[in-house]
Structure 1
Amino acid sequence: MASAATARIRAAVIGTGAIVTGSHLPALRDHADRVELVAAVDVDEDRLDTFRATAAETAGFTVAGYPDVAAMLKAERPDLVLIGTPPSLHREQTVAALTAGAWVLCEKPLCLTLAEYDEIAAAETEAGGPYASVVFQHRYGSGAVHAQDLLTTGALGRPLVAHCQTTWHRDTAYYAVPWRGRWGSEGGGPSMGHGIHQMDLLLHLLGDWTEIRGMAGRLVHDVESEDVSTALVRFANGAMATVVNSVLSPDEVSRIRIDCADATVELTHLYGHRNDDWVYTPAPHVRDEPARQERWRTPAADLPSSHAAQLTGLLDAMRDGVRPPGSGPDARRTLEFIAALYKAAFTGQPVHAGEIAPGDPYYDAMHGNHPEWAPKAPQATNVAKKES
């Protein structure tokens, strides 16, 4: 990694589709004083060329193009790799980058199973990196930072009841993309691909979970995975929560609400939040305490949740040689939560934190080989030979 105080971090992107062009490239441009995009990988030559031209025009980056990850890593030796490919490729590409000595920022989900996550963790170097982080941009931004501080310091009183809602709408054309809605390529349905952001933020705000009970269904879409899931959750601090993930909801919203002893904090948005999206409502017994309520107000500086906000923390961690936020056991907790949601939904039994370990079918596959949810094996066809 660049060692001189004035040297920029050399970054590469794997995948040049909408998420990389629309979110990662602007984030890199916003940090152009600290990081330089030097390479991009894509199997689609036209898309790669379009991205390289866009990077040059909008950010002033001179980007070398590669069709192959291994060739790029060998030739460029980047310090940082940002991954925006379909989920089934994340584990392999993340491990390759870590092995080559690069830090990683990968789109969600970082991988498809807990077994894959532990393989990634084994490829990390604990003594100063490199480390792999997953994009959970809703943790970042001034509103989320402020809310977590209030909750963890007890400024709102003890957390009691919470609700986490990701109710979006996706049509049949969305699932016409071959890798969507399939366990082997996406890892799951809205629990894995959509609600993961709000569930991660809920865990970021409330801390460790201890027990989950769940339900899941295919109510509309003809897919392998679910199109709706619900859960009841108990946290280590005693709080209880409901969770809803849906791609069947015409009125789209992302919402987290936490009722504490002294106030309710509520976040309502869709794909990103600002300070004004966070609302604090005092309990009756503290409505006459204006000084206390003043502390609850969101900060004057308004930093939206974004890839750029998360990249700031990652670059700081690289500079300091420490594990970045959104990585390690903290990020694994979110993936374990989703695996537990699926296990609880498919088995009809409560699942406790730490229960899904090697040897458990839900450690190696989010569907847990459940006969009603696991992918159906192709039917063998026996063709009888006719006697001549």
Structure 2
Amino acid sequence: MAQRSYRTAIVGTGGIAGAHARAVRDSGRGRLVAAVDVDTDRARAFAAEWDVPRVSASLSEVLRAEDLDLVHVCTPPGTHAGLAGQCLAAGVTALVEKPPVVSLAELDGLVDAERGSGASVATVFQQRFGPGAGRLRRMAAAGDLGRPLVATCLTQWYRDDAYFAVPWRGSWRSEGGGPTMGHGIHQFDLLLSVLGPWREVTAVAARQARRVDTEDVSMALVTFENGAVATVVNSVLSPRQVTALRFDYEHATVELEHLYSYTDADWRVTPAPGHEAVAARWAAAPVPGGSGHSGQLAAVYRALDDGEPPPVTLAGTRPTVEFVAALYASAFTGERVRAGAVPPAFAARMDGTGPPWR
């Protein structure tokens, strides 16, 4: 039986939009019918490259004119919540690039809007869907790895001053934060998806070298409800770039090292003495492909087929956004912050009462 094809628009035709268009094309399940950008020349060039029939500067115009099933929101972060809200009001599901919002209050506002709509908002957290991630979660849930004990999550990237010359970058209002919000979020979202609910955060954040309003590096110590402890580092100051996650369980260490996208080959399992079978179980079911947008988009289509909210839902996104708010609150107040107890100022804005360098 033929699978349904989903009529799709992309709003925001900058760099990341190409990854979305490629995932739609390669899926064979989506049809790009509109490209939306306030820069219509850029939108026309994008439409020509990806064979998109309609170009517009207005998402609301496209929502009125087209019978859409899905909108990919690929604009700067400060616009995400408003555009996702437009989609919900029109009854169209939105797939929103990270970070989905620039504050915890914005996310909760979308939750309220979603309740009054027949549509959903999903966040692009594609690292959750890459090869190895699902296997790690399954083996951990089955008890194959024993108790989680220690973890590290490193996003040590390099972005120079020219990168931040783009007007919306490095601003609390338009980006919601620095590398914590815009770079490390994919990696610690994967960490949280593996280790489960976090309990408490103690953090520091600093503006060391870049001429921006936000931090350019942050570090956090995290405790989890299951007793695990973790370190999270987010940096745009690191000339030797690396993305690395390490999970130390009772029975094995599971490691992932890559830069922007991973495959099965980027994972390594080191069993504890007496638990050599763990490595064999890990290697028994290799998964092809990488951790790009295609894996999550396939899951989105399956959910739409079944009439279900697509992953990652706002409920599934909230722990990650709350973690960001808690990290900034701890860094700027010097206090530990528990889950469910983010100070109101930091729920309203990620910089809360203000960074010490302001």
TM-score, scaled relative to structure 2: 0.96
Task: Give 1:369 shift.
Answer: 2.3
**Shift of residue 201, structure 1, vs aligned partner:** 0.3
Is the Cα contact below 8 Å between 1:275 and 1:299 reproduced in 2? Answer: no
CA-based RMSD of the aligned residues comes to 1.6
The answer as to 2:210 corresponding to 1:224 is no
The answer to whether the Cα contact below 8 Å between 2:107 and 2:314 also exists between their aligned partners in 1 is no
Pick the structure with greater CA Rg.
1
Gaps of 5+ in 1: 57-61, 375-388
Partner residue of 1:41 out of 18, 31, 36: 36
Q: Look up the equivalent residue of 2:26 and give its one-letter code.
A: D
Whether the aligned pair in 2 keeps the contact of 1:12 and 1:39 (CA below 8 Å) is yes
Secondary structure of the corresponding residue to residue 16 of structure 2: helix
Moved more, 256-265 or 38-47: 38-47
- Partner residue in 1 for 2:345: 361
Look up the match of 2:14. 17
**Contact 2:256 / 2:266 at 8 angstroms: preserved in 1?**
yes
Q: Secondary structure at the match of 2:335?
A: coil
Map of 1:315-326 to 2, 5 A cutoff? 315-326=301-312
Q: 2:228 — aligned with what?
A: 239
Any idea what SS the aligned residue of 1:355 has? coil
CA 349–310 in structure 1, closer or farther in 2 if over 3 Å, else same? same
The one of 4, 8, 18 aligned to 2:5: 8
**Aligned-pair CA distance for 1:6:** 5.1
Amino acid at match of 1:369: T
- Secondary structure of 1:285 counterpart: coil
Q: Alpha-carbon deviation of 1:303?
A: 2.7
Task: Find the aligned partners of 1:176 and 1:48 in 2 and give their Cα distance.
Answer: 22
CA shift in 2, pair 1:89/1:137, >3 Å: same
In 1, distance between residues paired with 2:342 and 2:239? 35
User: TM-score, with normalisation over the residues of structure 1?
Assistant: 0.89
User: Percent of aligned pairs with the same residue?
Assistant: 47
Q: How many residues align?
A: 358
CA contact (8 A) 2:132 2:287 kept: no
Give the aligned partner of residue 385 of structure 1.
none
Residues 158-169 of structure 1: matches in 2 within 5 Å? 158-169=147-158
Which runs of 5 or more residues in structure 2 are unaligned? none
| TM-aligned CA distance change 1:340 to 1:371, over 3 Å | closer
Distance 1:126 1:141, change over 3 A: farther
The within-5 A match list for 1:175-324 is 175-287=164-276, 290=277, 292-297=278-283, 299-324=285-310
Q: Tell me, what secondary structure is at the counterpart of 1:286?
A: coil
| Correspondence for 2:110 | 120
Render the CA deviation track for 1:60-111: whole Å, top value 9, x for unaligned.
xx42111111111111131100011001110100000111011111110101
Q: Give secondary structure in 2 for the equivalent of 1:368.
A: coil
1:118 partner SS = helix
Residue 293 of structure 1, CA deviation: 3.0
Q: How does 1:135-150 map to 2 (within 5 A)?
A: 135-150=124-139
One-letter amino acid matched to 1:46? D
| Residue 154 of structure 1, CA deviation | 1.6
Contact 2:151–2:229 (CA<8 Å) still a contact in 1? yes
Instruction: Tell me if 1:172 matches 2:169.
Output: no
Tell me which residue corresponds to 2:90: 100
Does structure 2 conserve the Cα–Cα contact (< 8 Å) formed by 1:340 and 1:351?
yes
Output the amino acid matched with 1:47: R
Question: Following superposition of structure 1 onto structure 2, how do residues 77-96 of structure 1 map, counting pairs within 5 Å?
Answer: 77-96=67-86
User: Is the contact made by 2:150 and 2:248 (CA closer than 8 Å) also made in structure 1?
Assistant: yes
What is the CA deviation profile of residues 95-137 of structure 1, one whole-angstrom value per residue up to 9, with x for unaligned ones?
001110111111101010011001111121489x411111111
